[in-house]
Amino acid sequence: MRRSLLPPEIEPDILDIIATLDDAAERSGDRRYVRARNALAAASPGRPRVDDERLIEEAKWLLDSGQVKNLNRALLMVARSANITTCHRSFAERLRQKIASGLKKTSGK
């Protein structure tokens, strides 16, 4: 995150800036204000944040409780229930890699 050069007491809120740009666009009719406003109001780029630790714990619980017979099936079930927009298999593979890296860290390597 970029630090602002303005002192905290005069740093404008993002909603104030958006409102100012809306007013400027309405008064002037200049599309540049509209584009700037849309850029500020847009969602941040990248994949949405997902609580991987919670999903890994859920997959382990599914495996430990006997509801699934292997880790792959548990990770796929968790991926389907997570309401993600990516491929379920690639999401499950990412979780599997996180589990593997966690095991390496705990084994002393």
Q: How many domains does the chain have?
A: 2
Residue 56 lies in a domain: yes
Dump the DSSP string for the chain: -PPPSS-GGGPPPHHHHHHHHHHHHHHH--HHHHHHHHHHHSPPSSSPP--HHHHHHHHHHHHHTTSSSSHHHHHHHHHHHTT-SS-HHHHHHHHHHHHHHHHHHHTT-
User: Which structural domain, as residue segments, surrounds residue 23?
Assistant: 8-41
Indicate if 29 and 56 belong to the same structural domain: no
Task: Report the mean per-residue pLDDT for the chain.
Answer: 83
Using pLDDT thresholds of 50, 70 and 90, give the confidence band for residue 51: confident
In a domain, 37, yes or no: yes
Tens of pLDDT, residues 18-38: 888 999 999 999 999 999 888
Residue 14 vs residue 11, higher pLDDT:
14
Q: Are residues 61 and 86 in the same domain?
A: yes
Burial class (CB within 10 angstroms; exposed 0-12, middle 13-18, buried 19+) of 26: exposed
Q: Are residues 24 and 58 in the same domain?
A: no
pLDDT at 72: 93
Q: What's the confidence (pLDDT) of residue 57?
A: 94
Q: Does 66 share its domain with 86?
A: yes
pLDDT tens readout for residues 77-101: 999 988 777 789 999 999 999 999 8
Give pLDDT, residue 24.
92
Contact 95, 72 (CB under 8 A): no
Identify whether residues 34 and 58 lie together within a single domain. no
pLDDT of residue 18: 86
pLDDT at residue 108 greater than cutoff 80: no
